[in-house]
């Protein structure tokens, strides 16, 4: 993996997809996808679109109907006004959030660098590194994973004039892997630094609907001075249980978003047309959809925390529910060792060093709880049995 000042500290990291293949489905707390059943109305709409021959190319930016529905969603849940008819384009439909990140990296980060916060989502580093860019890492501190604003400012100042000049800060909230919800104060600090050093903010908000407290998710684009320098990335994969559909979106000021169309077109041509049309039909049809989703996941998290705590894990109170981030029981030397034991017993999570360059998180694990209740009970039952012996 290619980085700037962090290169000397690189180390081998666990392969999440490989770990997934080592355990049966009823022991899989590994891969970060929702394995819940698809919404019946969405499934019916998709079937109808495919049967109705809506199976051909569409514009690279996505079909109008879905872009209009997404703009309504952004206005409702993010309090950001996006014009789906604007020229230059302010909103693109992309092949998942990953497609958006690829377009951003190729367009804005080639030859430059982006800063990520550790623990980080591996693709936030891997994508720029594979497309001619670089990544730098700033560690969050303490048991609450707090951002040190002075340290952020110092590092950005140094990196701005480095060999691979800093061009962007990637802020993911809630965070994959920890579930951390950045506070308004932390987001204001990031916003101030972006403005001080003329940086882009790449906001990954894929997990926005898993924030447990009402109205706690804050889109950084809503902060003063950030609308014109923030590119927000999101996806339907998690909240609609359709990771295989590859549907996401990216939005922001037209001067930032329109140039992404070139990469979106050349790399992908378009996102799947019938699936876009199906999603457009249901996306804003039930205003309570996300509230119900949040309640469902609150129950899953409560159950998972109870089981993990009973066998010695110290669970991080993240403020969100899709992942559970926890320090492993004290009797184990590191999470790699513990995960090997779990795999032998048909269950697994992800060791914390999959999400870090430093050694600080070697005794942490991420568990994905986006599973049907019977699968979650089975996997946690196996884990509890293994560690209670």
Task: Say which CATH number the domain at 214 has.
Answer: 3.40.640.10
Instruction: Show which of 260, 282, 304 is a domain's final residue.
Output: 282
pLDDT in tens, 283-306: 999 989 999 999 999 999 999 999
- With residue 98 as reference, give the H or E element that holds it: helix 96-104
CATH of the domain at 302: 3.90.1150.10
- Is-contact 174 116, C-beta < 8 A? no
Q: Does one domain contain both 255 and 310?
A: no
Q: For the chain, list residues with pLDDT below 50.
A: 1-9
Question: What is the bridge-based pairing of β-strands 200-204 and 230-235?
Answer: parallel
Q: Does one domain contain both 32 and 60?
A: no
Q: What is the pLDDT of residue 8?
A: 38
Query: 179 in a domain, yes or no?
Result: yes
d(CA 222, CA 217): 11
Query: 206 in a domain, yes or no?
Result: yes
Residues 388, 329, 379, CA angle at the centre, nearest 5°?
55
- Is-contact 292 317, C-beta < 8 A? no
- Is-contact 369 49, C-beta < 8 A? no
d(CA 352, CA 349): 9
pLDDT in tens, 162-221: 899 999 999 999 999 999 999 999 999 999 999 999 999 999 999 999 999 866 899 999
- Is-contact 82 90, C-beta < 8 A? yes
Query: 2 in a domain, yes or no?
Result: no
Q: Is the peptide bond before 88 cis (omega within 30 degrees of 0)?
A: yes
Q: Does one domain contain both 257 and 157?
A: yes
Q: Does one domain contain both 311 and 251?
A: no
- With residue 202 as reference, give the H or E element that holds it: strand 200-204
Question: Which tokens hold the place of 60?
Answer: 């690279």
Q: How many domains does the chain have?
A: 2
Query: 361 in a domain, yes or no?
Result: yes
Q: What is the pLDDT of residue 333?
A: 87
- Residue 85 has, within 13 A of its CA and on its CB side, a CA count of 1
d(CA 107, CA 54): 31
Q: What is the pLDDT of residue 7?
A: 39
- Is-contact 315 367, C-beta < 8 A? no
Query: 108 in a domain, yes or no?
Result: yes
Q: Does one domain contain both 297 and 266?
A: no
Of 371, 113, 38, 110, the C-alpha closest to 262 is 110
Chain centre distance of CA 59: 26
Q: Does one domain contain both 64 and 183?
A: yes
Instruction: Show which of 282, 303, 331 is a domain's final residue.
Output: 282
d(CA 190, CA 331): 38
d(CA 34, CA 71): 24
d(CA 264, CA 100): 8
Instruction: Show which of 227, 260, 282 is a domain's final residue.
Output: 282
Q: Does one domain contain both 356 and 209?
A: no
Q: Does one domain contain both 34 and 82?
A: no
Q: What is the pLDDT of residue 9?
A: 47
Q: Does one domain contain both 138 and 262?
A: yes
Of 74, 116, 119, the C-alpha closest to 93 is 74
Q: Does one domain contain both 137 and 192?
A: yes
- Is-contact 324 301, C-beta < 8 A? yes
Query: 1 in a domain, yes or no?
Result: no
Query: 160 in a domain, yes or no?
Result: yes
Please give the full DSSP string across 180-197, using - where no structure is assigned: ----HHHHHHHHHHHHHT
Query: 176 in a domain, yes or no?
Result: yes
Give the count of beta carbons closer than 10 Å to the beta carbon of residue 269.
11
Domain extent, residue 106, equals 40-282
Q: Does one domain contain both 206 and 304?
A: no
Q: Does one domain contain both 24 and 60?
A: no
Please give the full DSSP string across 133-169, using - where no structure is assigned: -EEEEEE-BTTTTB--HHHHHHHHHHHHTSSS-EEEE
């Amino acid at each position: 993996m290619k980085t700037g000042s962090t290169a000397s500290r690189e180390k081998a990291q666990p392969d999440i997809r490989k770990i997934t293949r080592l355990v049966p489905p009823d022991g899989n707390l590994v891969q970060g996808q929702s394995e819940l059943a698809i919404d019946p109305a969405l499934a019916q709409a998709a079937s109808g679109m495919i049967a109705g021959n809506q199976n051909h190319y569409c514009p690279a930016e996505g079909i109008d109907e879905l872009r209009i529905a997404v703009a309504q969603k952004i206005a409702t849940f993010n309090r950001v006004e996006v014009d789906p008819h604007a020229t230059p384009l302010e909103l693109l439909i992309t092949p998942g959030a990953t497609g958006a990140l690829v377009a951003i990296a190729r367009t804005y980060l080639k030859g430059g660098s982006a800063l990520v916060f550790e623990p980080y989502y591996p693709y936030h580093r891997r994508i720029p590194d594979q497309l001619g860019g670089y990544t730098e890492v700033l560690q969050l501190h303490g048991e609450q994973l707090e951002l040190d604003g002075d340290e952020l400012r110092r590092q950005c100042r140094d990196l701005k004039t480095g060999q691979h000049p800093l061009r962007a800060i990637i802020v993911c909230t809630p965070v994959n892997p920890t579930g951390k919800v950045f506070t308004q104060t932390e987001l204001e600090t990031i916003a101030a630094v972006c403005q001080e050093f003329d940086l882009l903010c790449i906001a990954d908000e894929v997990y926005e609907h898993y924030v447990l407290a009402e109205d706690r998710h804050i889109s950084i684009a809503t902060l003063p001075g950030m609308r014109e320098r923030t590119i927000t990335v999101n996806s339907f994969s998690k909240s609609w249980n359709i990771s295989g559909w590859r549907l996401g979106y990216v939005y922001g000021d037209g001067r930032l978003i329109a140039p992404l169309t070139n990469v979106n077109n050349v790399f992908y041509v378009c996102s799947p047309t019938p699936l876009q049309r199906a999603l457009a039909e249901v996306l804003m049809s039930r205003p309570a959809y996300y509230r119900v989703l949040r309640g469902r996941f609150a129950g899953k998290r409560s159950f998972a925390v109870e089981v993990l705590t009973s066998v010695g894990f110290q669970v991080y109170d993240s403020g969100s529910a899709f992942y559970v981030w926890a320090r492993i029981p004290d009797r184990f030397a590191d999470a790699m060792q513990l995960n090997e034991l779990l795999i032998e017993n048909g269950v697994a999570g992800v060791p914390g060093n999959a999400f870090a360059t430093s050694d600080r998180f070697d005794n942490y694990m991420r568990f994905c709880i986006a599973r049907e209740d019977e699968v979650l009970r089975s996997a946690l039952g196996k884990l509890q049995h293994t560690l209670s012996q």
